[in-house]
Amino acid sequence: MPLYEFRCDDCGVFDEWRSLAECNNPAHCPTCEEPAKKCLHHRCCCLVRCD
Ligand SMILES: [Zn+2]
């Protein structure tokens, strides 16, 4: 399962494991629980783009 990087406007970047089926679902910041945007890149070497 790839590790995706998300960015909260208030709290900064955090990582979350996501399956490919869930990669387009919005993440929620673990600190303030606001919706966070997925960064354009992720840290795994998977070639599948989810954007
Ligand atoms: Zn936050």
pLDDT at position 40 is 59
Largest CA distance in the chain: 31
> Considering the domain boundaries, does residue 19 fall inside one?
yes
Question: Domain of 15?
Answer: 3-42
CA of 19 to the centre of ligand 1 (A): 22
Summarised one tens digit per residue, pLDDT across range 5-51 is 888 999 998 988 888 787 777 789 999 999 988 875 555 444 455 55
Quote the CA–CA distance of 24 and 38 in Å, as a whole number.
Answer: 8
**Looking at the domain assignment, is residue 48 inside a domain?**
no
- 1 Cα: distance to centroid of ligand 1 (angstroms): 23
- pLDDT of 47: 47
What's the CA-to-centroid distance between 10 and ligand 1, angstroms? 5
Q: Which residues pair with 27 in a beta bridge?
A: 36
Virtual torsion, Cα 22, 16, 4, 12, nearest 10 deg: 130
Centre of ligand 1 from the C-alpha of residue 51, in Å:
22
Q: Is residue 50 part of a domain?
A: no
**Phi/psi at 16 (5° precision):** -145, 135
Q: How far is the CA of 49 from the centre of ligand 1 (A)?
A: 25
* pTM recorded for the entire structure: 0.64
